């Protein structure tokens, strides 16, 4: 049976390892599209979201390096929009290629998406969202002094710049996204969590922040009445005691169980925690909805034969 699925792509679906050139990232998009087209062949309706952390961070570095009186650096929200268009373009081309290879005629469209946040969100005074490349602690401290950025250690992988990450309250373009999906189009939207905006006195205004892609995807999935939120990351299943001898993977888990593991500090704030929190919010938002967290290569199996970690409300587990 056809499902409406919001597919939230992790950074590894676009940029793997040190492959930061345009060609390398486009090749990663092609590999991603070939996995996603399997779901389209089965008749599912896809809305594809994606991260932009490495890309927007690199854009900011390029802006800073080239800054002068005549060419001032562009603000963070504008760089977010640039990365949203750039990655959307790459994914559109990749999806077109995968569809052609499979003899499928469908239109693919990227919607430049704005995500509404509250102006008084506490995240604006406590930046936590990592963007850009990884640095050693020594490099990070030097850049803090030279450029005034804030850096934090990111889940044992190195130091990254952190920026405000307010919670999304709405996705302004959800109605047109819904209409495009109803018309049979494949939609790429909410890139990098969408461009963060507030309602100012003169209308919509961009703000210096980056929205977490998983929370924005969860909000969009609710607004377009999706059946499944499919969060794709670097690992095939959610685990507790990650990388420890007593590591335990989950196949099917309830919202309440995951809340207990969050309280126990089982999930890293910079990596798995926002995915699990977004998964919980979507799964409990309406009866019959579920979130699946898995890897790109397990995406098709997650929909067809139960691969990955399926997060559902407790009453849904009883019914199942």
Residue 194 structure tokens: 């969408």
- Whether 129 is catalytic: yes
For the chain, how big is the Rg over CA atoms in Å? 19
| Catalytic residue status for 306 | no
Catalytic residue among 51, 191, 213, 290: 213
| C-alpha–C-alpha distance, residues 312 and 320, integer Å | 10
As a whole number of angstroms, the distance between CA 118 and CA 228 comes to 27
Catalytic residue chosen out of the listed positions 51, 58, 129, 194: 129
Q: Are 293 and 251 in contact (CB under 8 A)?
A: no
Give the separation between CA 295 and CA 249, rounded to whole angstroms.
13
Please report which residue ranges of the chain form alpha helices under DSSP H. 22-41, 53-65, 76-101, 137-147, 174-182, 213-223, 255-263, 272-283, 299-304, 314-319
Indicate the length of the chain as a whole number: 320
Question: Is 12 tagged catalytic?
Answer: yes
Is 275 annotated in the active site? yes
Q: Please tell me the distance from the alpha carbon of residue 115 to that of residue 201, in angstroms, as a whole number.
A: 17
| Catalytic residue (choose from 11, 158, 206, 301) | 11
Q: Tokens for 193?
A: 């969590």
Residue of 12, 38, 41, 158 marked catalytic = 12
19/291 Cα distance (integer angstroms): 29
Catalytic residue among 178, 190, 192, 275: 275
Q: What angle do CA 290, 45, 116 make, to 5 degrees?
A: 70
Active-site positions?
11-12, 129, 213, 275
């Amino acid at each position: 049976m056809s499902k409406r699925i919001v597919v939230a792509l992790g950074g590894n679906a676009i940029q793997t390892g040190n492959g930061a050139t345009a060609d390398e990232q486009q090749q990663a998009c092609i590999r991603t599209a070939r996995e996603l087209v399997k779901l389209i062949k089965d008749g599912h309706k896809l809305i594809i979201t994606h991260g932009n952390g490495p890309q927007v961070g690199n854009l900011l570095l390029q802006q800073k390096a080239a800054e002068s009186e005549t060419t001032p650096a562009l603000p963070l929200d504008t760089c977010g929009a640039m990365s949203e268009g750039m990655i959307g373009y790459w994914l559109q081309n990749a999806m077109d290629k995968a569809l052609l290879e499979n003899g499928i005629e469908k239109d693919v469209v990227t919607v430049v998406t704005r995500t509404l946040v509250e102006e008084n969100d506490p995240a604006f005074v406590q930046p936590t969202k990592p963007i850009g490349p990884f640095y050693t602690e020594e490099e990070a401290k030097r850049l803090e002094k030279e450029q005034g950025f804030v850096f934090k250690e990111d889940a044992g992988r190195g130091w990254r710049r952190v920026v405000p990450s307010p919670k999304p309250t709405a996705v302004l373009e959800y109605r047109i996204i819904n209409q495009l999906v109803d018309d049979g189009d494949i939609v790429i939207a909410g890139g990098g969590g969408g461009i963060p905006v507030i309602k100012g006195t003169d209308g919509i205004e961009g703000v210096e922040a980056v929205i977490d892609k998983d929370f924005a995807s969860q909000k969009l999935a609710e607004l377009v009445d999706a059946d499944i939120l499919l969060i794709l990351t670097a690992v095939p299943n959610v685990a507790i005691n990650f990388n420890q001898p007593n590591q335990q993977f989950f196949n099917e888990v309830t919202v309440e169980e995951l809340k207990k593991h969050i309280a126990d500090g089982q999930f890293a704030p910079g990596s798995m925690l926002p995915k699990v929190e977004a998964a919980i919010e979507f799964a409990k938002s309406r009866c019959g909805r579920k979130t699946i967290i898995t890897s790109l290569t397990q995406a098709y199996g997650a929909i067809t034969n139960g691969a990955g970690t399926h997060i559902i409300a407790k009453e849904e587990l009883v019914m199942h």
